[in-house]
């Protein structure tokens, strides 16, 4: 009996050391839904690969472009490792990888990096990383100030992420609301060898506000918002974004009173104690708070109550990215906010509040990708024609020498 057990030990150890596949995501099913789609002219040499973080956004972009999502498998093993396999030929093609870096941030970030290397090793002519939500963009931290030199060493995880993308061979980066208006922090993390294109979502918010919240008073339909509207910046960093939204809305509604306000001393302690100062008049006005992202929703819930206390009639929130972690949905339901409008750069979690409204950025991304693919094809065609001309000249020279 002891001898039999000893013979079985190596086999048992071998089984235990093999990681178990826990999740396998295949994109062939998504591709099969679009078998009858005819791609637009000039897009035959492009491939769109979608990560697992936001598959619905990838599908919407491909539907607009008229292309099928590239077939690939993403496997997650029980030990946490990730394996990416591309199941179609992308040799010589322009590859666009759509992957948002929301929670779980590290898993989605590593999946993006592995997809980039898989595309490079598969012979892609170019690789463009489309990152709707750029991970670690708000992680700006500095080491403690030195008491001796009164200085500190600064670092940013976002710049480290940018360096990873550059080293792995990304040719271009496309993101949505990568930086605050008037600031260029994140784009400066990349060197001049990688173009960084930032898609602004403010026009999409303006369209939604005009069509859903603001209704012409001369129309017989019931107005969603009164004649007085105030755009509120939650801190001094978003004043320019609030002013831009104000100007765009005034272009369509010159007969309305539209103004801006800003909240000063907006620290966590001041918000809790109700000491945050509001510069601007929000009394009897409908208010729209503009922000970059919503995480736990704690700050925005407090701000909504503060604005209501100052006499605001109703409060709306427009944020570029809806992360919605922890108990954010419960806080939104309990807060006096009417609606929270976000883009679909990050998929909504299950059990989302009825107050959440998502607007699609797929048309914006599709427009950029179409332009990139057509431009790349034009360059490739011009190079091919030039090579053909050179070949014809060489052949003519050979014939001349023979004569």
Supply the pLDDT for residue 189. 74
Helix (H) or strand (E) holding 199: strand 196-199
Helix (H, G, I), strand (E, B) or coil at 177: coil
Q: Which domains does the chain have, with CATH numbers?
A: 20-34+42-144+153-199 (3.40.50.2020), 202-362 (3.40.50.2020)
- Per residue, the 3-state secondary structure of 276-319, as one string, reads CEEECCCCCCEEEEEEEEECCCHHHHHHHHHHHHCCCCEEEEEE
Supply the pLDDT for residue 400. 46
Helix (H) or strand (E) holding 175: strand 172-176
Per-residue pLDDT in tens (0 to 9) along the chain, 403 residues: 555 555 655 554 444 444 566 677 776 655 555 555 556 667 889 999 999 999 999 999 999 999 999 999 999 999 989 999 999 999 999 999 999 999 999 999 999 999 999 999 999 999 999 999 998 887 655 556 666 777 777 777 888 899 999 999 999 999 999 875 555 555 667 878 889 999 999 999 999 999 888 765 455 455 566 678 999 999 888 899 999 999 999 998 888 889 999 998 756 555 555 677 899 999 999 999 999 999 999 888 889 999 999 999 999 999 999 999 888 999 999 999 999 999 999 999 988 999 999 999 999 999 999 999 888 776 655 554 454 454 555 555 555 454 5
Supply the pLDDT for residue 267. 61
Nearest partner of 204 among 62, 314, 320, 108, judged by Cα? 320
Nearest partner of 65 among 34, 86, 91, 100, judged by Cα? 34
Supply the pLDDT for residue 197. 92
**Cβ atoms within 10 Å of 275's Cβ, excluding its own:** 12
First to last CA, the chain: 92
170 contact partners, CB below 8 Å, separation of at least 6: 116, 127, 128, 129, 194
335 contact partners, CB below 8 Å, separation of at least 6: 297, 300, 301, 304, 305
Is residue 344 a contact partner of residue 361, using CB atoms and an 8 Å limit?
Answer: yes
């Amino acid at each position: 009996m002891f001898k039999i057990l000893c013979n079985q030990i190596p086999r048992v150890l071998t089984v235990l050391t093999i990681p178990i596949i826990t999740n396998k995501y295949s994109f062939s099913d998504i591709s099969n839904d679009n078998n009858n789609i005819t791609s637009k002219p000039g897009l035959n040499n492009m491939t769109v690969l979608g990560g697992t973080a936001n598959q619905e956004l990838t599908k919407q972009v491909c539907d607009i472009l008229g292309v099928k999502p590239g077939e690939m498998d993403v496997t997650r093993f029980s030990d946490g490792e990730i394996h990416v396999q591309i199941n179609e030929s992308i040799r010589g093609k322009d590859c666009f990888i759509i992957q948002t870096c929301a929670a779980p941030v590290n898993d989605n970030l590593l999946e993006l990096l592995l997809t980039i290397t898989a595309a490079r090793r598969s012979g892609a002519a170019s690789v463009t990383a489309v990152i709707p939500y750029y991970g670690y963009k708000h992680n700006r931290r500095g080491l403690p100030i030195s008491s001796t030199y009164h200085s500190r060493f600064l670092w940013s995880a976002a710049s480290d992420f940018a360096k990873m993308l550059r080293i792995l061979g990304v040719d271009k980066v496309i993101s949505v609301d990568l930086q605050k208006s008037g600031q260029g922090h994140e784009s400066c993390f990349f060197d001049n060898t990688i173009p960084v294109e930032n898609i602004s979502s403010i026009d999409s918010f303006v369209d939604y506000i005009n069509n859903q919240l603001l209704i012409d008073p001369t129309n017989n339909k019931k107005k969603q918002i009164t004649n007085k509207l105030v755009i509120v910046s939650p801190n001094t960093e978003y004043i320019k974004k609030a002013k831009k939204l104000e100007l765009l809305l005034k272009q369509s509604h010159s007969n309305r009173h539209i103004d801006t306000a800003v909240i000063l001393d907006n620290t966590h302690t001041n918000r809790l104690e109700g000491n945050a100062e509001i510069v601007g008049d929000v009394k009897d006005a409908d208010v729209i708070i503009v922000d970059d992202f919503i995480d736990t929703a704690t700050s925005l819930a407090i701000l909504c109550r503060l604005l209501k206390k100052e006499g605001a009639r109703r409060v709306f929130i427009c944020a570029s990215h809806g992360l919605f972690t922890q108990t954010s949905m419960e806080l939104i339901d309990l807060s006096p906010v009417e609606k929270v409008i976000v883009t679909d750069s990050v998929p909504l979690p299950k059990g989302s509040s009825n107050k959440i409204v998502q607007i699609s950025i797929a048309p914006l991304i599709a427009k950029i990708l179409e332009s990139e693919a057509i431009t790349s094809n034009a360059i490739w065609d011009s190079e091919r024609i030039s090579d053909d001309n050179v070949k014809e000249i060489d052949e003519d020279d050979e014939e001349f020498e023979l004569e």
